[in-house]
Amino acid sequence: MTWLERIKDGRLETADGNIYTFEFKEITAAREERTEKFSFRSDGDYISRNSSGSTSYPLKIWFSGRDCDLVADSFELATKDPRPLKFYHPIRKKYVLVQLLSIERTDDTLTAAGEIGFALQLHETIELDKVIKPESASRYVDETVSKVKILSSEKFGEEIAASSPSAIDKMKADIAKAQAALGEVTTAYDTVTDGVAEFQSVLLSCESLVETIEADAEAFANLAFGAVTTVNSIITFVTDRVDAIKNLIDTIGEMESMPIKKIYWQAAVSAKAQCALSASSLDFKTRTEAFALLDSLDADFQAMRDAIETAELSGELQIPDMETMIGMQDIVATTFGAFAGIAYGAKQQRSITLEKNEAIYPLVYRLMGGNSMDDLDTLVDEFIAANELGGSELFELQHGKTYRYYL
């Protein structure tokens, strides 16, 4: 067998399991080395080569035949999925996990050759769950939040010591706003009964320390920070936890004292990160809803970081504090890495426009399946709620109308 006979078919497999066999003329692979250049006064540079980087694959592929247009359309649509692809290297005969960086399509109609080509930029990637699994990330984030709470409380004590009486009066007014927002948690949401009494006790302890905050600054900050992160353990549903944290962040935006904003802001961002990692894919109706939580976490962190940096430059915050910000950045970055696996497990919203009137049960079974009648009943209930159905549509769905479902 010659080397030419040992070449296999080139294949790209999507995260959904769809396999596309493509034609090619050459396979190019490029790898960048991780290096550092040190320039000295004498002639020449010293290059330190630390390790090898990942491999990129600039591929030119094509599909041919009578149905090449249909295959190409399907392939192009499949590449919109943000998850990595599996690239089967036809010469090295191994799978490589890659991410698509760019795609360019060429439809060759001039020669009527029946060929549609794609120029792909693929780059080798690693799986996030091999870097840090959600359960490991959750433990790590919890430990980092505890460290940040201690550091943040210490810095708050230093800020209090450097603050004027009028500045402390502003702080007390802002604490009252935060206490009111947190106090609504036990009445606005479904809560875990066992934790409510302890949570209320923490709020009362915070309140009792306000009048002596000059002497008990660190103790107050530690309790206040803890009260915010405790929200996750007393509110039953993840979406409600997110809403409660959002309400607190909205209240923080109304505060005037930057030292108080800082302690509550850091606690709220930490609580949102912990909330994300305590969730499962079943806690979100859709994948979009899951990723919206990450978007809001990123926006909250950026706003907090920018506000703190501005306040430190202006003197509104008098004590420099790099350590807690590094810890906060670590919390957010770890959450992003681990939460992706949770989010991708959530359902995606789909839709169907009916070509004829249909009964609801057969349609739901055809679209969403169902392992038993109880399972099918649950899916039908979800379908009814998603489309806000009532009246005759509970029995017969209408021709020409578009309906949503989640899969």
Q: 3.90.209.20, 3.40.50.261, 3.40.190.10, 2.40.30.200: which CATH number matches 10-126? A: 2.40.30.200
Which secondary-structure segment (H or E) carries 119? strand 115-124
If we measure between CA atoms, which residue out of 347, 389, 385 comes closest to residue 368? Answer: 347
pLDDT above 90 for 263 = yes
**270 token code pair:** 């930490």
Which residue ranges does the chain devote to CATH 2.40.30.200? Answer: 10-126
Q: Could you tell me the sign of the dihedral formed by the alpha carbons of 404, 385, 190, 253, in that order? A: positive
pLDDT for 129 equals 47
Residue 78: is its pLDDT beyond 50? Answer: yes
Question: Tokens for 406?
Answer: 């989640």
Percent pLDDT > 90 in the chain is 39
Residue 38's pLDDT is 62
Backbone angles phi, psi at 94, to 5 degrees: -150, 155
Share of the chain above pLDDT 70, in %: 91
Q: Note if the pTM is more than 0.95.
A: no
What was the pLDDT predicted at 47? Answer: 75
Most confident by average pLDDT, 122-131, 208-217, 277-286? 208-217
Which of the given ranges, 106-110, 144-148, 278-282, has the highest pLDDT on average? 144-148
- Give pLDDT, residue 48: 66
Tens digits of residue pLDDT in 110-136: 666 678 999 999 999 876 544 455 567
Strands 30-39 and 94-108: unpaired
Q: Which of 65-74, 78-87, 308-317, 369-378 has the lowest mean pLDDT?
A: 369-378
Q: Using CB atoms within 10 Å of the CB of residue 390, give its burial: 0 to 12 exposed, 13 to 18 middle, 19+ buried.
A: exposed
More confident residue, 220 or 48: 220
**CA max distance for the chain:** 88
- Given a cut of 70, is residue 345 above it in pLDDT? no
Question: What pLDDT score does 61 carry?
Answer: 92
Closest CA to 80 of 128, 15, 144: 15
